[in-house]
Amino acid sequence: MMKRKIIVAVTGASGSIYAKLLLDKLVQLQGQLTEVAIVMSDNAKQVWEFELDDASHGSYPFKTYAKNDFMAPFASGSARFDTMVIVPCSMGAMGRIASGVSDDLISRAADVILKERRKLILVARDTPLSLIHLNNMKTITEAGGIICPAIPSYYSKPKTIEELAMTVVNRVIDLIGLENESYRWDGID
């Protein structure tokens, strides 16, 4: 299997736990990865520290880029990052991407991934959704992006918040295309 170059962008929607669990998992799956690049919005750091009561976003063994660093490799298609996950993805970030406003590194990197026809996964989080949100989801889907809502499932009977959140993160890992052992529905005997 070809090793992967992945961008993980974190924005200020609720659900920092999804970003944390995904990054934890990518540490475990490093053998399948050439590179993981992290970029966080200011709001993402604030929400992470509020929701998770820690600042562990700064502790990963991956390179982190400043939110306005347009010199970052993945601000250009020539760097050949193959996948970008925005987790969690705020409605604001989704709107900027849907309208092509590349005024920070997250929206620029997403713009690049779409124009290069590579894989963009948005773990979108808000409820309820307005027509503007739904139209933005449609626009991004039509442009080739994948909307993977931060909606957990219950059929694996999760017992903890982490297990519940992993039901979303495991779907993201599957969408990225990494080999991963996780609960899989096999019907009822």
Ligand X SMILES: Cc1cc2nc3c(=O)[nH]c(=O)nc-3n(C[C@H](O)[C@H](O)[C@H](O)COP(=O)(O)O)c2cc1C
Q: What are the tokens at 158?
A: 């999760």
> Toward ligand X, which CB reaches closer, 118 or 133?
133
C-alpha span between 160 and 83 (Å, rounded): 29
Q: Are 88 and 10 in contact (CB under 8 A)?
A: yes
Q: Which residues contribute to the annotated binding site for FMN? A: 12-14, 41, 125
C-alpha span between 53 and 84 (Å, rounded): 26
Question: Which stretches of the chain are assigned E, i.e. beta strand?
Answer: 4-10, 33-40, 63-65, 83-89, 119-124, 146-147
> Toward ligand X, which CB reaches closer, 14 or 180?
14
Q: Which residues contribute to the annotated binding site for dimethylallyl phosphate? A: 155, 171
Assess 111 for contact with ligand X (CB under 6 A): no
Assess 12 for contact with ligand X (CB under 6 A): yes
Which 56-95 residues touch ligand X, going by CB under 6 A?
90-93
- Per CB under 6 A, the list member of 14, 102, 156, 180 interacting with ligand X is 14
Angle at the Cα of 26 from the Cα atoms of 106 and 123, rounded to 5 degrees: 45
> Toward ligand X, which CB reaches closer, 4 or 136?
136
Label each residue of 171-182 as H, E or C.
HHHHHHCCCCCC
> Toward ligand X, which CB reaches closer, 5 or 57?
57
- Per CB under 6 A, the list member of 43, 102, 139, 156 interacting with ligand X is 43
> Which residues in this chain contact ligand X in the complex, by CB under 6 A?
11-14, 41, 43-44, 47, 50, 90-93, 125-126
